[in-house]
Amino acid sequence: MSSHFKKASNFNIEGDTHIYAKNYNHYSERPPKSSIEKLREHVAAGALHNSAERYDAPKCHPETRVAVQKEVVSWICDGDSDDQPKDIMWVTGPAGSGKTAIMGSVANICQGKGILGATHFFSSFSGSANRRSKHCLVPTLAYQFVQHKAMTQVAARILSAVEDNPVIFEQNLEVQLDQLILEPLRACQDRPPLPEWPKVILIDGLDECEAEQYHDTTRSDISPRSKEEDQTEILSVLKKAASDSDFPFRIVIASRPEHAIQSFFTEVAHSVTRKLFLDEKYNPDADMKLFLESKFAIVRRRCHLPSSWPREDGDSWKDLARILTNC
């Protein structure tokens, strides 16, 4: 039988109830958490591009949005050869223009090429509150660096930073960026990035990041923090990272062209940003045609229809309704 006094020393028992002991460790006491466990508690796991939560997230249909994907991946891989190299790409466009689908597909392409460093997909519709907040952004990026097989030396520095400053997760984004990402990278600056190091960080849905409140929101004498303030704070630390000579990654940020975000890229980060606006240049009508043709081909095969189907006359739609009812 295990003793309650296992590993105890310098103790004595007086009478029936009074026990005095030094170095007393109860046998059921849990060991202290490791640095990786502490970091994991502040990670938005659902924000990773390949998370279970994003399994049904929009993805580019094969052969659609090819031009956009090629342009983004080409910039990631070879942007240094541009006449005026930029460190940040802003992918923007109105709602429904396919930004999240494009970012998901680009993430998969980059992972296949071994150049994906980290991702964070914000979502205001997510059941996970940490995907709607800035709070887990930096720890989520740092965690992915720790997991990257080519960045073991940086990983050790990140975990050491967590151990040295346990309250880092309650500090502002700039302090988190410095201690969890920039300082670990600087500590390895005498070891230049190897060819197998990743090249890019992808941030999607920035406009869906909501405000984090630090005060009692019922108080009338304190104005609640706006989501635009949090989004601008995120952009500020990402610009700081991109402008640091020891930061070897490109950053792709996707969002709607909300006023605060657009103002930041236009007025503050113009010199380091390449803008990619999803408009008719990328031929969304042709993408839609490809998508529909693919779906029609599935229906033809499934329902044994001739290759001439669907016809351009209206009867094809009546046929489709009847066929789908019977298939």
Model confidence pLDDT, tens digit, residues 234-261? 999 999 999 999 999 999 999 999 999 9
Residue 5: pLDDT band (50, 70, 90) is: low
In this structure, are residues 90 and 251 in contact, taking their beta carbons and an 8 Å threshold? Answer: no
pLDDT tops 80 at residue 108: yes
* Whole-angstrom distance, CA of residue 8 vs CA of residue 37: 28
Instruction: Give the pLDDT of residue 92.
Output: 94
- CATH code matching the domain that covers 35-210+226-282, chosen among 2.102.10.10, 3.40.50.300, 1.10.10.10, 3.40.640.10: 3.40.50.300
Residue 224: pLDDT band (50, 70, 90) is: confident
Q: What angle do CA 47, 183, 181 make, to 5 degrees?
A: 5
In this structure, are residues 102 and 27 in contact, taking their beta carbons and an 8 Å threshold? Answer: no
> Which tokens sit at 102?
């494009």
- Mean pLDDT, the chain, rounded, equals 83
Least confident of 35-39, 70-74, 94-98, 197-201: 94-98
Most confident option among 168-172, 214-218, 317-321 = 168-172
Residues of the chain with CATH 3.40.50.300: 35-210+226-282
Instruction: Give the pLDDT of residue 203.
Output: 98
- Angle, in degrees to the nearest 10, between helices 315-326 and 284-303: 50
Top-confidence residue, 322 or 189: 189
Instruction: Give the pLDDT of residue 315.
Output: 57
Share of the chain above pLDDT 90, in %: 54
Ordered alpha helix ranges (H), 114-243:
137-147, 152-164, 173-177, 183-187, 227-242
Residue 167: pLDDT band (50, 70, 90) is: very high
Nearest residue to 103 (alpha-carbon basis) of 249, 288, 254, 274: 254
The structure's pTM equals 0.77
Instruction: Give the pLDDT of residue 266.
Output: 96
304 backbone φψ class: left, alpha, beta (φ>0; ψ -120 to 50):
left
